[in-house]
Each structure stands twice: as structure tokens, then as C-alpha cells.
Structure 1
Amino acid sequence: LGNKIGDQYILGIIGFIITGVGLPLLAIIACSKGDGTFKTLSSRVGNKFSVIFTAILFITIDTVLFTITTPNLALIALLVILIVKGLIMPIGTITETNAINVFSNSLLEGYQTMDAIAALLFAGVITTSLKTKGYKDEEMPKMILKSSLVAVIGLAFVYGGLTYIGAQTTELTTGEIGKTGLLLLISRNILGSIGPALIGIAMFLACLTTSIGLLSAGSSFFEKISNGRLPFKINAIVISIISLLLATLGVDKIVLLSAPILNILYPVCITLISTTLMSKFLTNIKAIRLGVYTSLFFGILFAIPGINLNFIPLAKLGFGWLIPTIISVALGHIIFREIKEENAIA
């Protein structure tokens, strides 16, 4: 991201952190408003929707994130060293790249972390941990906010720092350079010849621990919803094979292929999170369902190649689903309230 936007890195950092760090935090807080799991959000739309959409999220995160590194302690420590040294001793001059729509594109780039999806699926781990420590339901949002603060600051520093270091490479690269290649270039310039090897080892450790966790969670989920007809071992083997095949494509192609899928899933996730957080004011379940399905419909519509929908507000920026979703929720509250009142009168 930093390599593409150059001198506009501050705007890029803000956009990326909103969806890459802020949204996952909101997802966990939203889940804590109920039983602490994603079911709190998705079941408001319907049980069938909850199962199907959760399955899709698990398939996406198990096959895509399985093959893309998620930072663990070793990798984060190495990245912090890279960032701090890059801040003290810049590896290049930040130049103008004439990038357009930097903020909106950075918001969309934040989707690629899939941290919000992971937060929705694994929020239960956090809430369960807090409950075992004796915290009550009404205390959950506040405690989650406190406990997540360190992680939020840490991730913001890493994502922001890498974007800034990436902006320093605008003069060091010519033409297109892949995400992995750019990280190796940065590590070599900052840490010397041993840099790429250290990054490789840290990535291996990060991928290993993350993959095991995702594989176990996904396999257990599909075994549970199939009432044992899809055994854990079979699920694990299938997920592993699919992930292995995807891994041969390389990070950049995986990101390219996952972008349309995430552009469909994220609007639904954002709608579920926001309507749950505003549940005190948005009390009409039918209106919320209408909003969720509207976000899904427009997400799919915008993912279809060749369809020009630029006449819709924010469509050119990648957020054409937003206004229709807001309108549908608002209209849903009016329409379904009137229907309820008419039935009551009748």
C-alpha cells in the first residue's frame, strides 16, 4: 500500500487502520452484546442465514487466510524491529505517486487482512475467557475494549509502520512488485543479507500456528453443522488440500482472487456489526434483515464483471452498497412499523 501511495501515506494509514484494526474491534464488541459469538449477530437475520453465512466465512478464512501469513509474536517482533530501524534510518525518499482515491482504496485494502472476519468467528474465545474470570455480561463491552486496546495499538503500529516504510520504497522499485517481494526488499535493505531469511523463518512460524488453529476450528464447525456426517479428519484433509493448491498461486494472485469475495462478504459483516452496535435504536428485526440482504445483493452485483453501476453514490470508490443499505434499513423501519401498527388496529 505504501509503495503505491507514496507521499499520501498518512491518508492511506488512516483508511487501512479503520478496516484492518478498528472494524475487528467493533466486531468483538458487537458479539459481546449477546452470548459472545457471531451467532449473536447472524441469528437476528435467521437461523438458516446464520449457518450458511458462517460456513461461507469459515470456508473463506480457512482456505485463503490459511495460505496468507497472520502475524504471531515472532513475526510481530521482527516487524517492529524493521519499522523502528526504518523510522530511524529511512531506506529511501518518499516521493509523489499521483495515486487517486487513496482513502477509499486503503479502506478496501484493509479487507485483505480478514481480521474482521476472524474477529467475528473467534470472538467467543475472548468472551469465554472473560466470563471464566467472573465478569458479568454488562461488563463485557467495557472489558473487551480495555483488553483489546494493547492489540489495537500494536496492530495499528505494525500496519501504519509498514505502510510508512513501504512509502520509502517508491524510488527503489520500478514497475510492479509483489507484496512478498517488497517485504523481502525492505528486510534486505534494513537488516542486510540475513533479513529475508529471518522474515522467512518468522513467516513459517506464523503460518504454522495460525493454520493449525484455523484448520481445527473450521473442521470442527463443519462436523458440528453436519451432525457428524462430515467427519473432522475428512474436513481437515479437504481444507488442507484446497489451501495447498491455492498456496501454489502465490500471495498476490490469492489476494487478487479473494478481493471480489471479500467485497461481497465485508458489506454484510459491516451491516451486521453496525446494526448490532446500534440495536438500542434499530429494534425492528425485519428492517435489519432487509438491510443485510440489501448489502449482500449489492455486494454480489458489484462483483459481477461488466456491470456499470457507477451512477450509484460511492460506487466508484468501492462502496456502492452503503447508501442502498442505509436507505433499506430506514425504509424497513418505517414500512414494517406501519404494518405492525395496522395489524394491531385490525
Structure 2
Amino acid sequence: MKKSTLFPLAFTIFALFFGAGNLLFPPMLGAMAGQNLVPALVGFVITGVGLPLLALFAVARVGGGSDQIARYIPKRLALVLTGLMYVAIGPFFGIPRTAAVTYEMGVVPFLGAPSTLTLAISSTVFFGLTFFLTLRAQKLIEVIGRIITPILLLLLAAIGITNLVAPLGKPVAPAEGYETWIGALGEGFKQGYLTMDVFGALVFGAIVLVTLKANGMTDQKEASSLLRTSGMLAVTCLMLVYISLGSIGANMTGQTGTTDGASLLQAFAGSSFGQVGMLVLGAAVFLACLTTAVGLITEFSRFISNTFESLKYYQVVIATTLFGFMISLVGLGMLIEIAVPLLTLLYPVMIALVLVSITERIQRNPHVAMKATVYTALVLSLFETTHGLAPSAATAWITNLPMAEIGLAWAVPTLIVYVITLFLPKNRSNQALAQSRIS
């Protein structure tokens, strides 16, 4: 099973990761970076590929998602943080956004103008297929890994190779903030961070382990090893696609005069292949968003049904799918205003959890280390997110921290606290408690 499952599993992980944001961020970054595309992509890969890979490794090590990774902090706090993360990236933002982007990039270009009726038809078809696949969670690797993702990769490869062989333009001067290699590297680092794919790794890694178990792989060590190996293959594919899309953005911005990712891709596909190119791009967008929606609904439903035992998995799937459908019709503006600050608040916390979890073997007291590191990230992230409501003295202090200008004021203090915890004395009772909670 291990040999026959490796590549389909890697393709499944890639497809679950590769959603709307992953398609649109790289060309926008390439357009802004222009002639400094290389350092910008290096920064993007560090945070947009490296951090999610570490999160996948953390999931593989503990044998579960964020609920298992957060085992050293109080259960109620872990439940609240995990629940907020699932709600934010699930029905309140991530799920309806996949349908909205599919309509905007895969349907509207062929209509001339959007309408309520066509949006309703598009969302109905999209969520109908999503619902069908989600109720067949045991077949995710078979359907997504062996069928959908190879088609998606072929479509993306066709677009990327065309840009490599017959580019429609060449990179122009970098935009403000990207003028130097260091500036471009920092901006790429920030854009990769803003993909928030650490959330995706925690969610989709858990899906993979559950799916492997449902398909008969009962050996936890073998499943974790397979997740690590397939995860490395998946993020390698992600990196190659990011480089390709970033190059398209850098080449096309001089031709179009825009830095919008969707507009750049549509202009490239239309100019290179005409209507066929638009169909190829629309199909790629549809498949990318479909697989991400399936993954989000699957794991959100699993989390809710496991947390509230009175709710059945299929009941949560139905409710979540209907909610996502309705929100996709109403619009995402207000929900984005709510979800994005929440995601921004939680993301540093999840990175802190991953950091301590992935290095637990060198931690002398992981129980205290996780609490200290997570609480530091949570408090500073809370101040950053609500800086308008925070006391002026605290706001002034935080804005003077390293990397505060790019929204990473929490990073250096959290890293310092983490390093300090490496020198704590051992506490075997806490380690035994953690092992009992896992079992």
C-alpha cells in the first residue's frame, strides 16, 4: 500500500493546499517584484512552503491535527483556539470563498457580466459536487490523488510551459518596497506568510491520517512516515507551481498594467490560447477550489462531530455545505472583515504550537515550553490585531518591535521565549501526563 499510495497521496495533499489564494498570490507577487522576482520568490517559498511543511511534520509526529499538537496547553483553551481556526477557515471564509473565486474566474469571463442567477447556478453545481465528494471521505486519495490532481497539474503545466517557451513580456522595474533584493525578499516572506497555509497543513494533514486509517493502514508510524514523505513531494510541486505563476505575473504586468493576480492570469491565458486558454484556466481554478472546499468541509465536519458527539458527520457536512452555499450567494465582504483579523490573531499561535511540537525531542520541559511560547505569541498577536483598542503605551512598544512594520511584531519575542525554554529543567511528570492525553 505504501508504494502504490505515495504519489496519489502527495497529489492529494497538493490539491488540498492549492486553492484560490495559492493561485492568485504568486502572480501578484511576481508583478510587484518585477526584475527582483528571484529574491521575492525565495522569501515566498520560505514561509509559503517551508512553514506548511514543518506543520505537516508536526501532524505526522503527534499523529493528529491541531487538537493533538496543542496537548500541552489547557484543554479548554486548545478547544477554543482550534474551534476558532476551523470556523474561520471553514464556513465563515475559506469554503464560500472557493465558490466565489470559481464563479469570478471560471464563469464570469464567458458571460460578459455577472448576475444573481448565474452565480446561484454556479454555486449550486460547485457545492453539489463538493457535497458528493465530501461524503466519500474514504475515497479522497482515489478520487483527488489519482484523478483530479493529475488533470490539475497538467493544466498548470501547460500554462507554465507556455510562459517559459513563449513569454508575452518581460519583467519591469520593481514596485515600491521591492527595489532591493533585501526588500523583495522581505516582501516575498510576508506574502508567503499571508497565505496562512500552516492552517491548511494542520487541517489537511489530519485528513490524510484519518483517510489512511479508514483505508486499512493501522500502523501509526507507517502512516506518519508516509505523510512526511508525501508532504515533501506535495510542497515541492507547490514550489514549482509558485515559481511558474510568479514568472507569469512578472512577465505580464508590463503588458496589462495591473498587479491583480486574477487579471494577470486571465490576460495570459486569453492572449496565449484565446477561448481555449480561458477554458483551461477556468478548469484549473475550478479543480483547485473544489479540492480545497472538499478538504475544508471534510475536516471541519470531522472536528465538529468529534467534539459534539450528538451530531453525526453527515449532518455537519450537510449543514456546512448549505451554509457555504448561502454565504457564497450573499457575498463575502462582511465575513472577510470578521475572518481575516481572526485568522491574523490565530496564525502566530499555531506557528508557535508547531515550533514547540516539532522540536519536542530537544525540549527538556515541553509542557511549560508550549505554554510560555504560545501565550507570548497569543498576547502579542492580540495586541497587534486590536492595536486601536490597546493602551497607547503597549501599542507604542509593540510597533517598535522588530518586523512590526510587516505584521510580525510577535515573532522575535516569541522566538526568544522559545529559546529560553530549551534550558528549562526536566519535568518527567508533565511528559507522562501528555502521553496519557494522547492515548
Pick one of 331, 343, 347 that aligns with 1:266: 347
1:314 aligns with 2:410: no
1:95 aligns with 2:124: no
When normalised by structure 2's length, the TM-score is 0.67
Q: Residue 23 of structure 1 aligns with which residue? A: 51
Q: Residue 245 of structure 1 aligns with which residue? A: 330
Separation in structure 1 between the aligned mates of residue 402 and residue 210 of structure 2, nearest angstrom: 41
Distance verdict in 2 for CA 1:338–1:19, change over 3 Å: closer
Separation in structure 2 between the aligned mates of residue 53 and residue 99 of structure 1, nearest angstrom: 36
Distance verdict in 2 for CA 1:258–1:112, change over 3 Å: farther
Pick one of 151, 163, 166 that aligns with 1:86: 163
Separation in structure 1 between the aligned mates of residue 368 and residue 235 of structure 2, nearest angstrom: 34
1:275-317 deviation per Cα after TM superposition (whole angstroms, max 9, x unaligned): 1111122232123212101111212222235545331122123
Identity %: 28
SS in structure 2 opposite 1:93?
Answer: coil
Distance verdict in 2 for CA 1:50–1:202, change over 3 Å: same
Separation in structure 1 between the aligned mates of residue 76 and residue 238 of structure 2, nearest angstrom: 34
Separation in structure 2 between the aligned mates of residue 197 and residue 236 of structure 1, nearest angstrom: 26
- Asked if structure 1 preserves the Cα contact closer than 8 Å seen for 2:363 and 2:421, the reply is no
- Asked if structure 1 preserves the Cα contact closer than 8 Å seen for 2:36 and 2:184, the reply is yes
Separation in structure 1 between the aligned mates of residue 296 and residue 427 of structure 2, nearest angstrom: 44
Identify unmatched segments of 5+ residues in structure 2: 1-28, 103-143, 178-182, 389-394, 429-439
1:171 aligns with 2:171: no
1:213-267 deviation per Cα after TM superposition (whole angstroms, max 9, x unaligned): 42243234224323336952444433443344345x59xx95x875544332221
SS in structure 1 opposite 2:253?
Answer: coil
- Asked if structure 1 preserves the Cα contact closer than 8 Å seen for 2:207 and 2:295, the reply is no
Q: Which moved more, 1:282-291 or 1:99-108?
A: 99-108
Once the two structures are superposed, the pairs formed by residues 1-346 of structure 1 within 5 Å of their partners are: 1-62=29-90, 63-66=92-95, 67-68=97-98, 73=149, 74-100=151-177, 101-128=183-210, 132-133=216-217, 135=219, 137=221, 142-174=225-257, 176-228=258-310, 232=316, 233-247=318-332, 249=333, 259-284=340-365, 285-304=367-386, 306=388, 307-308=395-396, 309-331=398-420, 337=425
**What letter is aligned with 2:57?**
I
- Distance apart, 1:163 and its partner CA: 0.6
Which fold has the larger relative contact order, with Cα–Cα distance below 8 Å and residues 6 or more apart in sequence? 2
Structure number having the greater helix percentage:
2
Separation in structure 2 between the aligned mates of residue 216 and residue 128 of structure 1, nearest angstrom: 11
Distance verdict in 2 for CA 1:98–1:234, change over 3 Å: closer
Separation in structure 1 between the aligned mates of residue 364 and residue 77 of structure 2, nearest angstrom: 19
Alignment length, in residue pairs? 333
**What letter is aligned with 2:256?**
T
Distance verdict in 2 for CA 1:173–1:259, change over 3 Å: farther
- Distance apart, 1:136 and its partner CA: 5.3
When normalised by structure 1's length, the TM-score is 0.83
- Asked if structure 2 preserves the Cα contact closer than 8 Å seen for 1:75 and 1:199, the reply is no
- Asked if structure 1 preserves the Cα contact closer than 8 Å seen for 2:60 and 2:225, the reply is no
Distance verdict in 2 for CA 1:53–1:244, change over 3 Å: farther
Separation in structure 1 between the aligned mates of residue 421 and residue 236 of structure 2, nearest angstrom: 38
Separation in structure 2 between the aligned mates of residue 323 and residue 65 of structure 1, nearest angstrom: 29
Distance verdict in 2 for CA 1:287–1:147, change over 3 Å: closer
SS in structure 2 opposite 1:117?
Answer: helix
Cα RMSD after superposing both structures: 3.2
Distance verdict in 2 for CA 1:136–1:75, change over 3 Å: closer
Q: Residue 344 of structure 1 aligns with which residue? A: none
Separation in structure 1 between the aligned mates of residue 303 and residue 71 of structure 2, nearest angstrom: 16
- Distance apart, 1:208 and its partner CA: 3.1
**What letter is aligned with 2:409?**
G
Separation in structure 1 between the aligned mates of residue 328 and residue 78 of structure 2, nearest angstrom: 24
- Asked if structure 2 preserves the Cα contact closer than 8 Å seen for 1:2 and 1:167, the reply is yes
Identify unmatched segments of 5+ residues in structure 1: 341-346
Distance verdict in 2 for CA 1:329–1:222, change over 3 Å: same
